[in-house]
Amino acid sequence: MTTVRYEAPHVVTQDRDDRWLSPGAVEVSNGRISAVGPADKLSPSEDAVVHRLDGMLLPGFVNAHAHTPMVLLRGAGEGLPVDRWLTEVMWPREGRLTPDDVQWGMLLGAAQLVSGGITTSAEMYFHGEEVAAAAREVGLRCIVAPPLLVTDDISLFGTWEQQLESALAQARANQDDELIDVALGPHSAYAVPEEPLREAARLAADNDLLLHIHVAEQEHEGDAIMRQHGVTVPHYLEQLGALEARVLAAHGVWLTPDDIALFAERGVGVAHCPASNGKHASGLAPVTELREAGIRVAIATDGPASHDRLDPFEEMRTAMRLARLRQEDANALGPRDVLRMATREAAEALGRDDIGAIEVGRRADLVHLDLDPVVLSPVVEREDVLTHVVWSGTPTLVRDVWIEGRKVVDAGELTNLDLPVVAAEVAERARRLAGS
């Protein structure tokens, strides 16, 4: 197969050495990165087709926690805290969802994700097959976790046994798919009773599946667990055997020092959703403490109803601001930290060693940024380039995106989707779900 070589003035690899090549070259063969190095020292492969790019080449952003089809519900329940927002607005509308609704919502959301440079998204949402189908159509890499919920509003998805069996069947059906991975998604300890939560954990461990679950998003969500069992939610999960699985805990805002030590010991990853936490006034997550304990912390968008944008640049900036406010330290979290948390560290939080970095052997998920001289200037020192990208960048800087070596965004335009048609269809379906 032909090797493609990309050369750019700046290549930020996010590899183990945190290299930044100026200029750099990346070669791609059969969907994988086959060579990386300084452009003037790495000789092109014999059969390489060379593309010279302006600007910066980055590894694709890894979005570690999202409910992207919720573009159908964007803006609903404005001003409500998470518990009321879920029970009064989200779950009643989601109870009316059809598989087609989810597929159309995911199409529009996936288009926004890849347009912003997100090449992998960990999705927890209903109708997992339709989530996967829409992701494939756009070309997005997706970790699909059909949520496990036990509530009358969501009864159309069957008993908890049926929900788990359906998720396992999807995992088996997609085990050889290069873009789709399937996880188990018990929503939370407060929304899933002990027996189904224990069974979900057992199945995840036995089948080597990621267990994707909300933990400590709100200050008092674990109060019932504490009253009944005398422990916090992380220690309750430990008692159930859930931490024997590969676990990604979404949010982690109200983790105690003992919780953090337990997660570190068990290798639990945490998905940090700073903009969503800010919108719902959920609190300031202990990001610095988590990372100092050795926990992999990933930056994530959450859903576009939890926070209206699907913008990795805004999430990185918000993560820095909130961490600095929590620590009262302007150096608590920096641009390189959050860029790593949106790429390599996010992949590690998901238990993936094949994405998140421009490194030989990893999947060729790449993002080409236009270094707009108006937005990203002046550049006085070399580090200013990266600092400006994180502090001032927006999805409008994204020129090209490759996933598995295939171009899904070309000169700022989607290659696989008629966006106006999709947006119109989603608007009509959103009105029906709202009852208008």
Q: Which residue has the higher pLDDT, 142 or 76?
A: 142
DSSP string of 92-129? Answer: HHHTT--HHHHHHHHHHHHHHHHHTTEEEEEEE-SSHH
Contact present, 23 and 42 (Cβ < 8 Å): no
Residues of the chain with CATH 2.30.40.10: 4-59+363-414
- CATH fourth-level superfamily of 61-349: Metal-dependent hydrolases (3.20.20.140)
Q: What is the distance between the alpha carbons of residues 106 and 87, in angstroms, rounded to a whole number? A: 22
Burial class (CB in 10 A: 0-12, 13-18, 19+), 232: buried
Contact present, 271 and 122 (Cβ < 8 Å): yes
DSSP string of 126-166? Answer: SSHHHHHHHHHHHT-EEEEEPEE---GGGGGG--HHHHHHH
In sequence order, the β-bridge partners of residue 312 are: none
* pLDDT tens-place string over residues 272-302: 999 999 998 999 999 999 999 999 999 999 9
Helix (H, G, I), strand (E, B) or coil at 413: strand
pLDDT of residue 286: 98
pLDDT of residue 155: 63
pLDDT-based confidence at residue 319 (cuts at 50, 70, 90): very high
Distances (CA, A) of 237 to 83, 161, 183, 199, 240: 21, 19, 17, 12, 5
pLDDT-based confidence at residue 91 (cuts at 50, 70, 90): confident
Contact present, 147 and 126 (Cβ < 8 Å): yes
Record the tokens describing residue 278, joined without a space. 């800010």
Residue 339 has pLDDT above 70, yes or no: yes
* pLDDT tens-place string over residues 41-75: 999 999 999 999 999 999 999 999 999 999 999 98
Q: Which residue has the higher pLDDT, 155 or 20?
A: 20
* pLDDT tens-place string over residues 74-87: 988 888 888 888 88
At the top level of CATH, the class of 4-59+363-414 is mainly beta
Work out the average pLDDT over 166-194: 96
Residue 19 has pLDDT above 80, yes or no: yes
Give me the residue label for tokens 């036995």.
206
Strands 246-251 and 210-215 come out as parallel
Residue 436 has pLDDT above 70, yes or no: no
Task: Tell me, yes or no, if the pTM score tops 0.85.
Answer: yes
Give the mean pLDDT of the chain: 95
Residues of the chain with CATH 3.20.20.140: 61-349
* pLDDT tens-place string over residues 153-173: 666 678 899 999 999 999 999
